[in-house]
């Protein structure tokens, strides 16, 4: 009888655990690092200064879309950190982690939030942005290696979104200009 009670209790525990895992659609994903909205607004303001200097209209900052870009930004930084770990220690475990992170990034890249089209996206190291700003310049007011004005300053669109996340020693921004 004791054996049957233990078996029933164990079965119930397993069913409850399975129910908890499947109730939300599966095992929980890695928690997202939440975006720094204030820093995103600061970066968007610098972008708009450069746009006005380039003869383009300002694009309003879209906070809702900025938050939606968080999953993309997290997938990108996780992939970069996995690549860094593999570069430093090329073990099979690190390679598997790198491959999984790259697959996740590729998956998320294909499923960016809808409702925005014809956009251009830029990945920005926030330390570089802050350094340029500290020297009295605008990060977005330069030219690329071909002499073309910085791409987001001339990108067609009517909105911008910026998600800024921090992971370990890297604060990273995804800046997007597009049409909503």
CATH code of residue 54: 3.40.33.10
The answer to whether the pTM exceeds 0.75 is no
Do 3 and 41 have their domain in common? no
Strands 170-179 and 117-125: antiparallel
- Which of 121, 118, 102, 130 lies closest to 156, judged by CA? 118
What's the number of domains the chain is made of?
2
User: What's the average model confidence in pLDDT over 3-29?
Assistant: 38
What is the residue range of 21's domain?
Answer: 1-28
The answer to whether 164 and 172 have CB atoms below 8 angstroms apart is: yes
- Which of 95, 117, 131, 122 lies closest to 178, judged by CA? 117
Looking at per-residue pLDDT, the higher value among 161 and 116 belongs to: 161
- For the segment 38-94, what is each residue's pLDDT rounded down to a tens digit? 999 999 999 999 999 999 999 999 998 888 888 888 888 899 889 999 999 999 999
- Which of 163, 154, 73, 171 lies closest to 120, judged by CA? 154
Return the structure tokens found at 16: 């409850």
Do 64 and 10 have their domain in common? no
Return the structure tokens found at 102: 């790259």
């Amino acid at each position: 009888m004791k054996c049957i009670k233990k078996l029933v209790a164990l079965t119930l525990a397993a069913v409850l655990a399975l129910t908890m895992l499947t109730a939300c659609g599966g095992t929980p994903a890695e928690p997202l690092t939440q975006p720094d909205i204030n820093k995103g607004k600061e970066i968007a303001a610098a972008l708009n200064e450069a746009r006005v200097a380039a003869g383009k209209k300002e694009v309003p900052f879209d906070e809702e879309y900025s938050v939606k870009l968080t999953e993309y930004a997290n997938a990108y930084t996780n992939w970069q950190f996995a690549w860094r770990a593999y570069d430093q220690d090329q073990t099979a475990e690190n390679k598997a982690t790198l491959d999984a992170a790259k697959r996740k990034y590729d998956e998320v890249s294909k499923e960016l939030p809808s409702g925005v089209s014809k956009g251009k996206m830029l990945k920005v190291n926030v330390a570089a942005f802050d350094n340029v700003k500290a020297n009295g310049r605008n990060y977005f007011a330069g030219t690329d290696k071909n002499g073309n004005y910085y791409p987001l300053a001339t990108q067609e669109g009517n909105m911008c979104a910026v998600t800024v996340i921090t992971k370990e020693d890297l604060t990273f921004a995804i800046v997007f200009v597009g049409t909503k």
